[in-house]
Amino acid sequence: MLVATPIGNLGDVSHRAVEVLGAVDLVLCEDTRVTRRLMAAYGLETPLASYHDHNAARVRPRILERLAAGGCIALVSDAGTPAISDPGFRLVRACRDAGIAVSIVPGPTALVAALAISGLPTDSFYFGGFPPPRRVARRTRLASLAGLQATLVFHESARRLQSLLADAELELPGRQAVVARELTKVYEEVREGSIAELLAHYRDAGPPRGEVVVLFGPPAPIGTGDAEIDELLRSALRDGTLRDAVRSVVEATGAARARVYRRAIELQETSSQTGGSTG
């Protein structure tokens, strides 16, 4: 049984997760100290055993034997949903291959929480896990995703955030980006802007503390050139404020906010010089 656990706020554990963690024979976890804190918070005393990247291949056969003999075992990770950038996939695969049923108690997962509050389009998204740590491989990966008409979502360490943004600025120029940090925790923060704006911020401020999910908006749909953006802006500016006009055109086109904002300012300036109408 896969059991999702909180990504920061212990209150986010589900009722069923607590029930299951209390009822199984054994809880497999990455770091027993982390999971023990969660178990203690809910008064649970089920035995824990380590299952992580370094011992998985060695202990998996014993786990399968125990499950095949009728044992009831839960798998959790340090945070969020097991098997998502965390150990679990190979164990699930091995269970399925052995005809052992696998079930899940779903719950928090950082990528979905970040996507949901990013304000970026959610109808189509691509989750890229952790980008390659090395520059050339990372740029190649970003370049290969540049044509996807989808929001791109990545796990990243705070330490490598600047490098990721710098490479994204080269491979996904002009896109809107969001850094969702410390979700559900005391210092939760969602910072948005063009990739260049966020890069400038973190160059000044230094790497943030804690955990981050990084998102890049989809490319502007084909046909959303300056002329189309100007036309939409002229019409929106006739009825509303600059701020509302920019927001509605960003939503309608998926174009980077900084680009739309620049065009809106230019249109307003031209309009005031020519004495009135924006079009």
Is the sign of the CA dihedral 2, 15, 11, 178 positive or negative? positive
CB of residue 49 vs ligand SAM: minimum separation in angstroms? Answer: 19
* Other CB atoms within 10 A of residue 116 CB: 12
Q: Which of residues 144-183 bind ligand SAM (CB under 6 A)?
A: 155-157, 180-183
Of all helices (H) and strands (E), which one includes residue 159? none
Q: In whole angstroms, give the CA distance from residue 20 to residue 106.
A: 12
Q: Which of residues 42-81 bind ligand SAM (CB under 6 A)?
A: 77, 79-81
**Binding-site member from 29, 38, 63, 109 for ligand SAM (CB under 6 A):** 109
- Which parts of the chain fold into alpha helices (H)? 15-23, 32-41, 56-68, 89-97, 110-118, 135-145, 161-171, 195-205, 226-239, 242-253, 257-273
Closer to ligand SAM at the Cβ: 75 or 246? Answer: 75
- Distance of closest approach, residue 145 Cβ to ligand SAM, in angstroms: 17
Q: Is 192 helix (H, G, I), strand (E, B) or coil?
A: strand
AA letter at 92: V
Binding of ligand SAM by 107 (CB under 6 A): no
Q: How far is the CB of 188 from ligand SAM (least distance, A)?
A: 8
Q: Which of 110, 195, 229, 246 binds ligand SAM (CB under 6 A)?
A: 110
Phi, psi values for residue 104, rounded to 5°: -140, 140
**What is the tally of helices (H) and strands (E) in the chain?**
11, 10
Burial tier of 212 (Cβ tally within 10 Å: 0-12, 13-18, 19+):
buried
Of 55 and 270, nearer to ligand SAM (C-beta) is 55
CB of 221 to ligand SAM, least distance (A): 28
Min separation Cβ 210 and ligand SAM, Å = 7
The window from 31-39, 57-65, 84-92, 251-259 that contacts ligand SAM (CB under 6 A) reads 84-92
Contact flag: residue 278 with ligand SAM (CB under 6 A): no
Q: Identify the DSSP state of 254.
A: -
What is the x/- site pattern for ligand SAM, positions 1-30, by CB under 6 A? ------xx----------------------
Fill in the amino acid letter for 252. Answer: A
**Minimum CB distance to ligand SAM, residue 113 (Å):** 7
What type of residue sits at position 221?
P
Which of 144/157 has CB closer to ligand SAM?
157
Residues that bind ligand SAM (CB under 6 A): 7-8, 77, 79-81, 84-86, 109-110, 155-157, 180-185, 211-213
